[in-house]
Amino acid sequence: MVSPSFIVGIVGNIISILVFASPIGTFKKVVKKRSTENFKGLPYVCTLLSTCLWTFYGLLKPDGLLIATVNGAGAALEAIYVTLFIIFAPKDAKVKMIKLVTILNVGLFGAVIVVALFAIHGSVRLTMIGFMCAGLTLGMYGSPMAAMRMVIVTKSVDYMPFFLSFFLFLNGAVWTAYAILVKDYFVGVPNAIGFVMGSAQLAIYTIYRSRRSTTKTSHEKEVEEGSAHLVKGLEMQLHHENEAAADKGRILDKGRSLPKTSVSRQLSFQKIVKSLSLT
């Protein structure tokens, strides 16, 4: 019989993979433009370290297969992101990224494995790795907090990645439930905090999105009223111009209707003037 923890763990695997896959759209743009532009590489380096440590934790822990599989898949995706960032980053950013990868993903992760396998034994080993994993997981959940601050300052949700916050919210909820079922505090505590953070992020998004819709509606009404006044003004102006043109036409027609002096009368008048001037 399949245990409830296994079912919840499978659901958690699916949601976590969606979280890890969320930057795919970003890196499609990077590859298409052949530039990382203003994107920062540090979150991907830290997430790669976190997934590698969680994979190691899952391999050490009895019945930790579901933790190892999902984080192994996440580590593979993050390694691809980091590689693409190094390839398409400017020279200065590329050098910094290579240094970070060398220090964190090679040096620190390698040191943790060596110390855990050869210097620490028993339950202390799992406890040490568990604390490190929990700390990095809190960093992952806290990464959208800067976007939350930007939303509050600018009163706009354009700077908040909604789907990332939504999947982090679901991820925290599912893995918290899994941790309760298997009684794993290292999985439960950071994911419970992540669930609370995700709830706060979604609440902020909902509040400022509704305000944006209200502002947009009032703005549209003002635009419509202004357009109505403009159209009415143009109609009045055209009406006055038509009346002025009609009056001008009537004046011209009246001028044309006045009697004109004939040519013979004009010539006789000129002869009289000439004769008077000679006299």
pTM of the entire predicted model: 0.69
* Residue 140's pLDDT band (cuts 50, 70, 90): confident
> Do residues 8 and 177 touch, judged by C-beta distance below 8 A?
yes
The distance of Cα 122 from the centroid of its chain, to the nearest Å, equals 45
Residue 190 lies in a domain: yes
Residue 273 phi, psi (nearest 5): -65, -40
pLDDT of 192 strictly over 80: yes
Read off the pLDDT band of 217 (50, 70, 90): very low
Instruction: Please say if the pLDDT value at position 204 is more than 80.
Output: yes
In whole angstroms, give the CA distance from residue 57 to residue 48: 14
Residue 35: what pLDDT?
A: 87
Longest CA–CA span in the chain (Å) reads 147
- Closest residue by Cα to residue 169 from 141, 127, 129, 149: 141
Looking at the domain assignment, is residue 232 inside a domain?
no
Domain count, the chain: 1
Going by pLDDT thresholds of 50, 70 and 90, the confidence category of residue 153 is confident
Range of the domain at 165: 4-217
The DSSP secondary-structure symbol of 83 reads: H
The b/e string for 67-95 (b: 16+ C-beta within 10 A; e otherwise) is bbbbbbbbbebbbebbebbbebbeeebbe
Is 14 domain-assigned? Answer: yes
Mean pLDDT, the chain, as a whole number? 78
Whether the per-residue pLDDT at 158 is higher than 90: the answer is no
pLDDT level of residue 268 (50, 70, 90 thresholds):
very low
Is residue 246 a part of any domain in this protein? Answer: no
Note whether residue 265 is domain-resident.
no
Is position 248 within any domain?
A: no
C-alpha 15 chain-centroid distance? 20
Q: Is residue 185 part of a domain?
A: yes
Q: Answer for the pair 179, 191: CB distance below 8 angstroms, yes or no.
A: yes
Alpha helices for 89-161 (secondary structure H): 91-100, 109-118, 123-142, 145-154
Q: In terms of C-beta density within 10 A (0-12 exposed, 13-18 middle, 19 or more buried), how is residue 233 classed?
A: exposed
> Confidence band (pLDDT; 50, 70, 90) for 83?
very high
What value does the CA radius of gyration of the chain take, rounded to a whole number of Å?
39
In a domain, 240, yes or no: no
Rounded mean pLDDT, 25-30? 86
